[in-house]
């Protein structure tokens, strides 16, 4: 193929991800995670993450090249996450990308992590219809995006005003004494529970915006746990998990579908670690079908942070003919879309 070979590098949080992409084809990738080193802290420790990126970067690039069956000298351009993310973590990826760019004499493109979460879907389902709506739900973000063009025109419709969706899962898991990261154990517990036994609040429900709020929900769960403790009642973890999860996925899917309807968009992409959630997938599928919307959810490995999302977006940026970043490309912890 004569499409350029893109090397993508991701290091915004706790995953060191590297991938090789041509157009919409993922040739090979590798991800090293420092999640095990954060478990005892119940959340990502930035300094620990940065150090882990530094140690993992070169071997991860090597593994990705091996998986793709290509050589470093075959690479035509390097794409790297410039933000948003953790400052020290981003710096490791951007520094590595600059070094590869300089050593190979190939252009460097700093790209947006959030848009990468959307672009990655093209590796699984092919070119994204324009426009599309994207719901990004992970430990670090909860964003609703109007994607007119991946490379040049993405509009933020709403965001969380407090905790990210995955962060809410992680905090509630802690309250319920479930392990970190909290999403998978809550997802599993909820499947054995009855969501109708407790009614938790729906943050920013029907407020006329596409923003989200999960801290009130978390507080409501905390209060429920305290009350049960005080009254010496056993905690019905499965029911609490189910009721909490129903509140989260109800608001997420309702606002995402509303955004599609308001903007006349017939494709919804859901990505980010929380997209692995079984209840979110089921309710989104049901509501999208009712509204005549095509739902795209990349496979879990592509939903969580990885290098493929950055390489996929890099391919779009190169194809759009955008100018490369300068070698003094700066990281931006709160880079807008």
Please tell me whether 280 is known to bind a ligand: no
Question: Contact with ligand KG4 (CB under 6 A): which of 181, 193, 203, 314?
Answer: 181
Question: Contact with ligand KG4 (CB under 6 A): which of 28, 131, 140, 307?
Answer: 140
CA quadruple 256, 257, 263, 269: dihedral sign: positive
Of the candidates 30, 40, 33, the residue with the CA atom closest to the CA atom of residue 12 = 33
Please tell me whether 93 is known to bind a ligand: no
Judged by CB under 5 A, the chain residues 136 through 155 that form the site for Zn ion are 138
| Closer CB to Zn ion, 85 or 193, in the complex | 85
Of the candidates 273, 329, 263, 328, the residue with the CA atom closest to the CA atom of residue 299 = 273
* Least distance between ligand KG4 and beta carbon 140 (Å): 4
Judged by CB under 5 A, the chain residues 14 through 43 that form the site for Zn ion are none
Please list, residue by residue across 222-258, b when 16 or more beta carbons sit within 10 angstroms of its beta carbon and e when fewer do: eebbeeeeeeeeeebbbbbbbbbbbbbbbbbbebbbb
Please tell me whether 139 is known to bind a ligand: yes
Please tell me whether 149 is known to bind a ligand: no
Please tell me whether 136 is known to bind a ligand: yes
Q: Does 121 bind ligand KG4 (CB under 6 A)?
A: no
Q: Which stretch binds Zn ion (CB under 5 A): 99-107, 166-174, 250-258, 304-312?
A: 304-312
Judged by CB under 6 A, the chain residues 227 through 256 that form the site for ligand KG4 are none
Judged by CB under 6 A, the chain residues 276 through 315 that form the site for ligand KG4 are 276-277, 304-305
* Least distance between Zn ion and beta carbon 190 (Å): 23
| Closer CB to ligand KG4, 74 or 332, in the complex | 332
* Least distance between ligand KG4 and beta carbon 246 (Å): 13
* Least distance between Zn ion and beta carbon 290 (Å): 29
| Closer CB to ligand KG4, 42 or 184, in the complex | 184
The three-state DSSP-derived secondary structure of the chain is CCCCCEEEEECCCCEEEEEEEECCEEEEEEEEECHHHHHHHCCCCHHHHHHHHHHHHHHHHHHHHHHHCCCHHHCCEEEEEEECCCHHHHHHHHHHHHHHHHHHCCCEEEEEHHHHHHHCHHHHHCCCCCCEEEEEECCCCEEEEEEEECCCEEEEEEEECCCCHHHHHHHHHHHCCCCCCCHHHHHHHHCCCCHHHCCCCCCCCCCCCCCECCHHHHHHHHHHHHHHHHCCCCCCHHHHHHHHHHHHHHHHHHHHHHHHHHCCCCEEEEECHHHHCHHHHHHHHHHHHHHCCEEECCCHHHHCCCHHHHHHHHHHHHHCCCCCCCCCCCCCCCCCC
Question: Out of Zn ion, ligand KG4, none, which partner does residue 183 contact, by CB within 5 to 8 A per kind?
Answer: ligand KG4
> How many residues in the shown chain lie near ligand KG4 by CB under 6 A?
19
Question: Out of ligand KG4, Zn ion, none, which partner does residue 195 contact, by CB within 5 to 8 A per kind?
Answer: none
* Least distance between ligand KG4 and beta carbon 106 (Å): 27
Binding mask 101-140 for Zn ion (x = CB under 5 A): -------------------------------------x--
Q: Which residues bind ligand KG4 (CB under 6 A)?
A: 13, 138-140, 166, 169-170, 181-184, 187, 272-274, 276-277, 304-305
Q: Which residues are annotated as a binding site?
A: 113, 117, 136-140, 170, 183, 187, 277, 305
Q: Which residues bind Zn ion (CB under 5 A)?
A: 138, 305
Q: Which residues are annotated as a binding site for substrate?
A: 136-140, 170, 183, 187, 277
């Amino acid at each position: 193929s004569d499409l350029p070979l893109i090397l993508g590098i991701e290091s915004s949080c706790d995953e060191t991800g590297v991938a090789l992409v041509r157009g919409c084809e993922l040739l090979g990738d590798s991800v090293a995670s420092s999640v095990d080193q954060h478990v005892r802290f119940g959340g990502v420790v930035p300094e620990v993450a940065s150090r882990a990126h530094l140690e993992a970067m070169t071997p991860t690039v090597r593994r990705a090249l091996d998986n793709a069956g290509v050589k470093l000298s075959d690479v035509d351009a390097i794409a790297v996450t410039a933000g948003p993310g953790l400052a020290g973590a981003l710096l490791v990826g951007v520094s590595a990308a600059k070094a590869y760019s300089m050593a190979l004499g190939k252009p460097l493109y700093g790209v947006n992590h959030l848009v990468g979460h959307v672009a990655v879907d093209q590796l699984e389902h092919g070119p994204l219809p324009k426009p599309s709506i994207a719901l990004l739900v992970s430990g670090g973000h909860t964003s609703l995006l109007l994607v007119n063009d991946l490379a040049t025109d993405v509009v933020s419709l709403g965001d969380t005003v407090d905790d990210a969706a995955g962060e809410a899962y992680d905090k509630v898991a802690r309250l319920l004494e479930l392990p970190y990261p909290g999403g998978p154990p809550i997802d599993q517990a909820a499947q054995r529970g009855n969501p109708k036994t407790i009614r938790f609040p729906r943050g920013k429900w029907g407020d006329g915006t596409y923003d989200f709020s999960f801290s009130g929900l978390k507080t409501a769960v905390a209060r429920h746990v305290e009350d049960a403790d005080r009254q010496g009642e056993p905690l019905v973890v499965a029911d609490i998990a189910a009721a909490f999860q129903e509140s989260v996925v109800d608001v997420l899917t309702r606002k995402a579908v509303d955004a599609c309807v308001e903007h006349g968009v017939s494709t919804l992409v859901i990505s980010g670690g929380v997209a692995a959630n079984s209840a979110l997938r089921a309710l989104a599928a049901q509501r999208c079908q009712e509204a005549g919307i095509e739902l795209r959810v990349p496979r879990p490995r592509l939903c969580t942070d990885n290098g493929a999302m950055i390489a996929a977006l890099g391919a779009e940026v190169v194809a759009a003919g955008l100018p490369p970043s300068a070698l003094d490309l700066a990281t931006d912890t709160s880079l807008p879309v």
